A and B are shown apart, each in its own frame.
Chain A
Amino acid sequence: MENLQRIFVNIGEYCIVKNNNTILEIVGLGSCVAVILYDKINKIYGMAHIMLPSSSQAKGNVNLKKFADTGIKMMLEEMKKMGGRFFEAIIVGGACLFESQIQDPIMKIGERNIEAVKEVLNQQNISIVKEDVGGNFGRTVSFDTSNCIVYVKSQKYGLKQL
């Protein structure tokens, strides 16, 4: 993993590469969901850092890449234009880090993100081959494009390979 170029995917953004010597990474995912899409045959790899379930929640002129419905589609369209056809997905994140005696529905944003991401991928007929979602802990996720392996690191469970 040392010789590979490392690219950090910022919150509400996505990143696509067309080479297999890159690590796409998000440091510290909480309630956001990392959506990893790749086409091994055509060697196109992407990671989106999704913040919210639906662009219908948007108020005013905000970045549409952060919503599951618009963000995933935007990334997918771009990957298709670059020649991608046979997509698989891996999703990570969607945790709930804030705990309280009182259950507050606004704190379920992680769960809602996971649901929304799954729905969008389903609509696009992309199968989710692996996932590590939910829970009450943050994750740092690294996607090694040389072998399509995803590493997830957390305070709770240390480093693990998906």
Chain B
Amino acid sequence: MKFIPISDILKEMATVAAGRSTSALAEMLDLKVDIKVPSVRFVKFQELPKELSEFYEKEVIGIYFKFFGGLEGDMLCFMTKDTAKNLINILLGEETQEFNDSLDIIKAAIKEVGNITANSYINAITDFLNLEKTVISVPFYSHDILSSILDSLLCQIGAVSDEVIILDTSLRTEKVEMGFKILTFLQQESIEKIYSRIEKLI
């Protein structure tokens, strides 16, 4: 079954996963949430600034997770400050004009959004491939420019590789302007596992 490019398989998988995250988020926010067709890219570390140039030097709120077990890798959900502000206003019924995360409850609410998105996303992939259970870490909160967050994230995965596979998904809600991105960084062993699993399924 070497005829199906791995990128197509991963893309299909990312689409299923994004769909699951979307419904989870829609339910939590009580809003209609749309997804763009996810993209899957093999990216060398050096090319990341170019790949994510739209946000690279922007201030963002990032929720970072590690996952182990059936699948191994790292995940970053990030959003602009404006999106974070809108999310908080919906979740806590406030009408703040500026995002301010000096209160723990604000961070907790944002982390919960990340948590729900990440768990539904990873569980969808695990189900799709019928893999053993994947355990997801607690969410780690960060608020800085995206490049600094990625710089720290790459330190976590840099020992084993010089490149990453990124599943890049954008979620958008109706009415409220919101941009929410999910980047999943898979390790080489996970890619091999996915590939052999797909071969068995077909």
Contacts and interface: CB of A to CB of B under 8 A. Distances in A.
Interface stretch (A37-45, A56-64, A84-92): A56-64
Interface stretch (A16-24, A25-33, A73-81): A25-33
Contacts of B159: 52, 57-59, 62
Interface in B132-156: 137-156
B100 interface: no
Contacts of B139: 100
A53 to B, nearest CB: 10
A138 B145 contact: yes
A10 B147 CA distance: 11
Given A11-B45, A59-B159, A30 B151 contact: yes
Contacts of B153: 30
Contacts of B149: 28, 30, 97, 138
A32 B160 CA distance: 16
Contact of A155 (B45, B48, B141, B145): B145
Given A12-B45, A98-B142, A138-B145, A30 B150 contact: yes
Contacts of A66: 158
A122 to B, nearest CB: 22
B161 to A, nearest CB: 7
A30 B140 CA distance: 14
Interface string A100-127: 1110101101100100000000000000
Question: How big is chain A's contact interface, by range?
Answer: 35 or more
A152 interface: no
Nearest to B66: A106
A12 B162 CA distance: 9
Contacts of A47: none
Nearest to B145: A28
B1 to A, nearest CB: 26
Contacts of A31: 151-152, 155
Contact of B46 (A10, A59, A104, A109): A10
B146 A97 contact: no
B99 interface: no
Contacts of A14: none
B49 A52 contact: no
B56 A109 contact: no
A35 interface: no
23 contacts: A11-B48, A11-B154, A11-B158, A12-B162, A27-B147, A28-B57, A28-B145, A28-B150, A30-B148, A32-B151, A32-B152, A51-B158, A59-B160, A62-B159, A62-B162, A97-B148, A97-B152, A99-B142, A100-B141, A137-B144, A137-B148, A138-B149, A140-B145
Given A30-B153, A98-B142, 4 more contacts: A32-B151, A51-B158, A99-B141, A104-B140
Interface of B: 45-46, 48-49, 56-57, 59, 64, 66, 137-156, 158-162
Interface of A: 8, 10-13, 27-32, 51-52, 57-60, 62-63, 66, 95-102, 104, 106-107, 109-110, 113, 137-140, 155
